[in-house]
Structure 1
Amino acid sequence: MIIGYARVSTSDQNPELQVDALERAGAEQIFQEKFTGSQRERPELSQCLRMLRKGDVLVVWKLDRLARSLKDLVVLVEELHERGVGFKSLTESIDTTSSGGRLVFHIFGALAEFERDLIRERTTAGLQAARARGRKGGRKPSMSDSDIKKAIAMLSDPRITKKEVAEHFDVSRTTLNSSLKRVGSAS
């Protein structure tokens, strides 16, 4: 069975172009939804994927209609392949039911993995360069050393609670406690 999936990103977009192309490609059933690709949960896609059986073919108008990223697409198509389900993208002329289509798709997958490795290498190099210049990564502390000294002074008064000190500095008690630990004073 050939099953189609069509997705538009916003409610003002119309899926008719996709649906017409899927029907011309022989889709016997078409799942449609209006969701941005960044949404993790897409109920129609989930239902479509559950319905697919061995020997079926999932058809989309364009690759970006199915997945949020190339990595997600590769994972999804690999899962379909393991279940014995084929995949076709009409715009890119990819058809994993043929050996040539599987080759093209695996090349896409290899390129996605290469891109992830390059990003990881650049990130690591950038962090090392920043450390070499004396910069630390991470978020700036909510309380400065000066604020912590003032908080310690305030806490030396037994009538002032940690809750009151935290409110004074507009931080949570947890943040106040970790700041005090950072300077070695857990008063």
Structure 2
Amino acid sequence: MKYGYAVRDNDLAMQLKALNDFGCDDIRFGDDLPLVIDKLKQGDVVAVWRLDKLANNVAAVERVIEDVHRAGASVELLFERLNSGSDYKEVLSQLIGVMKEIEKL
């Protein structure tokens, strides 16, 4: 199952187009992310337009990714073209590291 997650902000139309183009079966917003994570099964995907749409800070992004992986699913970053369960895990880890450094500034 492909779950989409969007944030109601000025990019909403772009997010929804990307999630629909990706073929999401179910698109959720805002506070619904924990509900999506609770539904996840092995092989499911949580798609999001960009990494920064997944949570408000880097620590929360890391928790979401860990929760998704614990369920046997992966996170698909559509803009970055990265999947947290693929060979690009290291690239994602580096991207999160850069975000941590920026957050310190």
What TM-score range do you get, normalising by the shorter chain? 0.7 to 0.9
Q: Provide the alpha-carbon RMSD of the alignment.
A: 2.2
Q: Deviations over 1:69-105 (max 9, x none)?
A: 1222122212212221111111111112311x21111
Larger Rg: 1
Pick the aligned partner of 1:66 from 54, 60, 65. Answer: 54
State whether residues 49 and 78 of structure 2, in contact with CA within 8 Å, keep that contact through their aligned partners in structure 1: yes
| Structure having the larger proportion of residues in strand | 2
TM-score between both structures, scaled by the size of structure 1 = 0.49
State whether residues 58 and 85 of structure 1, in contact with CA within 8 Å, keep that contact through their aligned partners in structure 2: yes
Bigger mean CA offset, 20-29 vs 104-113: 104-113
Distance 1:110 1:75 in 2: 14
Unaligned runs of 5+ in 1: 34-41, 120-187
The amino acid across from 1:5 in the alignment is Y
Q: Tell me whether 1:46 sits opposite 2:43 in the alignment.
A: no
Q: Which fold has the larger relative contact order, with Cα–Cα distance below 8 Å and residues 6 or more apart in sequence?
A: 2
2:2 aligns with 2
Pick the aligned partner of 1:23 from 20, 24, 30. Answer: 20
Unaligned runs of 5+ in 2: none
- CA distance 1:111–1:20, shift in 2 (3 Å): closer
TM-score between both structures, scaled by the size of structure 2 = 0.82
Q: How many residues align?
A: 103
- 4+ long deviations beyond 6 Å: none
